[in-house]
C-alpha cells in the first residue's frame, strides 16, 4: 500500500492525502498563505539552492522550446533511422512506425491492438466545472476545452474506460519540446534514450489523430509553480500544455466504434512502461522487486497491480533524473499513480473530461 503521510504539504501546489485504502487524492492549493514557509515577496521565491538552479535551467530551456512549439509544430525531421524500440539510443523512429491518419494503437490483455477513430473527440462537461481556480480555468478555456483533474464518465452515454499511460518518469520531455528533453519527433526520453509511445506529444509529427493539441490541468500548474513559473509557458495560460505523449490500455475489442472516457495514469516506474509496438517491457533501473517488469502495463490486471505495488525503482528512476513531476507530488512509491481513481475496472471513474470515439480490432497496426 502507499505510504504517504496524511496531509503532507508540498511546496508550490499540492496537498496530498492518503486514505486507508492507499488511494491518493491531490488537492491543488492556490493561496500562498497555505504555505507558511514560503515567502510571498517575489513571484519566483526559491525553495532551495537546488530548486533555484533547476528553475533557471528550465526557464532557459522553455525560452528555446517556445520557438519550437509555437513557430514550428510538426516539423518533419530531415533524417530517420530504422529503429523503434525503447531501448535504443536513437533519437528518431522510422516514419513508417508513426501512425498517421485515423489509426493508432493500444494494449488489450497483453496484445497490441488497432484503434480506428470514427468521430471528433469531445470534452465535456466544461473544464470550469472541475476547477478550483475559476480565473485560471477561464483563461485556459480560451485555448482548450479539455482538462485533466476531474471528470464525469457518464457525461457521454455508453462510454468505456481507456487508460492512457503517461511516462511521468521522463519528466518534462513528455510534452514534446526538444529543449526540454524530447526528440525532434515529439517522443519523450529517459537517460538519453527514446521512449517509443503510441502517441507522441500534441502538436508534433507523432501526435495521434483526434487528440487535443493542448490540455489544461491543475497538475500542470503545480509543476510549473514548483519550478518557479507563475504565468504559464509557451505564451499559454497557466496550466495549459501540449497533450503528453502516451500509450493506451483498453479492456474491450471488436464490434463497432463506441465512446471512450479517458483516464490518465502517471507511470513512475520505467520498468513497467511497455514498448508501443511490441508490448514488451525492459528493465531500465534497479528494483527491489523479484520481477521488475512483472507488471508490464499491457492489461487492466497489470495496471491494477501496479497501482498498489511499491518499489525502489520509482525513486531510482525519478530522483536521479531530478524529475519535477515526481518531486511536485512529493515522491511516489508505487509504480503508477492514477489521481482520483480508486479502482481499475470497466466501471472506473474518470479523471478527465475527454471522450474519444474509436473501434478496436485485434490485429496490430505496426508493420512486422
The ranges assigned to domains in the chain are 8-361
Choose among 209, 185, 199: nearest CA to 76. 185
Rounded to two decimals, the pTM is 0.77
Question: What's the CA gap between 166 and 230, in Å, rounded?
Answer: 24
d(CA 227, CA 55): 5
- Distance between start and end Cα atoms, the chain: 40
In sequence order, which residues have a C-beta less than 8 Å from that of residue 119 and are 6 or more positions away?
210, 257, 357
| Contact residues for 54 (Cβ-Cβ < 8 A; gap 6+) | 227, 322, 324
Residue from 363, 276, 267, 270 nearest 84 by CA? 276
Give the pLDDT confidence score for residue 90 in this predicted structure.
Answer: 55
Walk across the sheet containing 24-28 and list its strands. 8-10, 14-18, 24-28
Nearest 5 degrees, angle CA 344-CA 305-CA 281? 110
Omega of the bond leading into 210 within 30 degrees of 0 (cis): no
147-203 confidence digits (pLDDT tens): 999 999 999 999 999 999 999 999 999 999 998 999 999 999 999 999 999 999 999
What are the residue ranges in the chain where pLDDT is below 50?
A: 1-88
Amino acid at each position: 500500500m502507499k505510504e504517504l503521510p496524511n496531509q503532507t504539504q508540498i511546496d508550490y501546489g499540492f496537498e496530498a492525502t492518503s486514505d486507508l485504502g492507499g488511494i491518493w487524492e491531490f488537492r491543488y492549493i492556490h493561496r500562498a498563505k497555505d504555505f507558511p514557509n514560503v515567502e510571498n515577496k517575489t513571484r519566483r521565491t526559491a525553495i532551495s539552492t537546488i530548486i533555484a538552479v533547476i528553475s533557471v535551467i528550465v526557464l532557459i530551456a522553455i525560452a528555446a522550446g517556445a520557438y519550437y512549439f509555437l513557430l514550428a509544430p510538426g516539423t518533419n525531421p530531415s533524417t530517420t533511422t530504422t529503429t523503434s524500440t525503447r531501448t535504443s539510443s536513437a533519437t528518431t523512429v522510422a516514419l513508417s512506425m508513426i501512425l498517421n491518419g485515423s489509426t493508432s494503437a493500444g494494449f488489450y490483455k497483453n496484445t497490441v491492438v488497432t484503434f480506428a477513430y470514427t468521430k471528433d473527440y469531445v470534452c465535456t462537461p466544461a473544464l470550469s466545472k472541475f476547477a478550483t481556480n475559476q480565473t485560471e480555468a477561464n483563461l485556459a478555456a480560451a485555448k482548450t476545452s479539455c482538462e485533466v483533474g476531474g471528470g464525469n464518465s457518464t457525461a457521454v452515454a455508453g462510454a468505456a474506460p481507456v487508460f492512457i499511460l503517461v511516462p511521468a518518469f521522463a519528466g518534462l520531455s513528455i510534452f514534446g519540446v526538444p529543449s526540454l528533453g524530447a526528440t525532434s519527433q515529439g517522443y519523450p526520453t529517459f537517460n538519453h534514450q527514446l521512449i517509443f509511445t503510441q502517441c507522441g506529444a500534441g502538436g508534433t509529427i507523432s501526435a495521434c489523430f483526434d487528440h487535443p493539441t493542448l490540455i489544461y490541468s491543475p497538475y500542470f500548474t503545480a509543476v510549473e509553480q514548483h519550478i518557479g513559473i507563475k504565468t504559464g509557458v509557451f505564451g499559454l495560460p497557466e496550466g495549459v500544455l501540449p497533450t503528453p505523449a502516451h500509450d493506451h490500455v483498453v479492456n474491450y475489442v471488436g464490434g463497432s466504434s463506441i465512446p471512450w472516457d479517458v483516464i490518465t495514469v502517471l507511470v513512475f516506474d520505467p520498468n513497467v512502461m511497455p514498448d508501443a509496438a511490441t508490448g514488451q517491457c525492459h528493465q531500465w533501473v534497479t528494483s527491489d522487486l523479484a520481477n521488475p517488469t512483472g507488471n508490464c502495463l499491457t492489461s487492466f490486471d497489470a495496471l491494477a497491480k501496479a497501482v498498489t505495488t511499491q518499489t525502489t525503482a520509482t525513486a531510482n528512476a525519478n530522483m536521479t533524473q531530478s524529475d519535477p513531476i515526481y518531486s511536485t507530488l512529493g515522491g511516489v512509491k508505487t509504480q503508477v499513480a492514477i489521481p482520483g481513481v480508486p479502482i481499475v475496472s470497466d466501471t472506473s471513474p474518470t479523471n478527465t473530461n475527454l471522450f474519444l470515439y474509436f473501434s478496436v480490432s485485434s490485429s496490430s497496426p505496426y508493420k512486422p
